[in-house]
């Protein structure tokens, strides 16, 4: 995995939480690992959704195109530490990719994909405006989650800067990001009531058995 790909991964994660609040916009919104559509990089998810060969081919084309657009954006972006500018630059790419993906999936597949996303992402899904509404979060809860969101962005931005400076090895990025995500999920769990946690679990639908340990395990 080269440095450009690492920077794209970290950059996407750094702003993904901020984009959760935009809602699904008629389908599945939000960039990077914060998006249900990112689950489609997993072979076990493709199997669960019973994707046809034609669907898999179309989705791979969308993923390849989106990945290249991200790499091109980061290569010439010059965003520095301006995450807001980065987010705005990525929005049209994300929206186009999301719209294209939703055109490939059936309504039932989209529903199941959302359920899998909730199961796999855990409490962090409550940063999504639609999920917040479904769970009936209070203004105080939303404010606390927003604060956690900002802390997560800052932590991921620090990771990106350390990758660039050489303080963090590229092969260590995945483990660091996984730890950051676990901390975020744990802290959000402290904000939710037990009833909200139970409802979020119900929204995950029937249990999904993960067999692919990492995204992008194949086509």
Q: What DSSP state is assigned to residue 51? A: -
What is residue 1's predicted lDDT score, i.e. its pLDDT? 45
| Alpha-carbon distance values, 96 to 11, 30, 31, 139, 214 (Å) | 19, 11, 11, 31, 25
What is residue 200's predicted lDDT score, i.e. its pLDDT? 96
What is residue 21's predicted lDDT score, i.e. its pLDDT? 34
Yes or no: say if 212 and 42 are a contact pair by the CB < 8 Å rule. yes
What is residue 77's predicted lDDT score, i.e. its pLDDT? 62
Yes or no: say if 132 and 71 are a contact pair by the CB < 8 Å rule. no
pLDDT tens-place values along the chain, 219 residues long: 444 444 455 445 444 433 333 333 333 433 333 568 888 989 999 999 999 999 999 999 998 998 888 888 877 766 665 667 777 888 888 888 889 999 999 999 999 999 999 998 889 899 888 889 999 999 999 999 999 988 888 888 888 888 888 888 878 888 888 888 889 999 999 999 999 999 999 999 999 999 976 544 333
Tokens of 80: 């520095």
What is residue 188's predicted lDDT score, i.e. its pLDDT? 95
What is residue 79's predicted lDDT score, i.e. its pLDDT? 63
Q: What DSSP state is assigned to residue 68? A: H
């Amino acid at each position: 995995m080269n440095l450009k790909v690492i920077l794209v991964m970290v950059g996407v994660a750094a702003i993904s939480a901020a984009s959760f609040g935009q809602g699904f916009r008629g389908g599945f919104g939000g960039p990077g690992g914060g998006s249900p559509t990112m689950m489609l990089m997993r072979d076990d998810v493709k199997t669960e959704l019973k994707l046809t060969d034609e669907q898999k081919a179309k989705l791979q084309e969308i993923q390849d195109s989106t990945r290249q657009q991200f790499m091109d954006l980061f290569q010439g972006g010059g965003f520095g530490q301006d995450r807001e500018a980065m987010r705005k630059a990525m929005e049209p790419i994300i929206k186009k990719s999301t719209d294209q993906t939703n055109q490939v999936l059936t309504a039932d597949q989209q529903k199941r994909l959302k359920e899998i996303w909730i199961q796999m992402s855990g409490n962090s899904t409550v940063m999504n405006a639609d999920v917040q509404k479904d769970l009936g979060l209070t203004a105080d809860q939303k404010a606390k989650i927003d604060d956690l969101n900002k802390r997560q962005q800052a932590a991921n931005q620090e990771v990106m800067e350390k990758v660039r400076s050489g303080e963090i090895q590229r092969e260590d990025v995945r483990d660091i990001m996984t730890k950051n995500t676990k901390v975020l999920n744990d802290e959000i769990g402290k904000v939710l009531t037990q009833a909200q946690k139970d409802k979020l679990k119900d929204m995950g639908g029937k249990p999904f058995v993960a067999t692919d340990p990492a995204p992008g395990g194949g086509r």
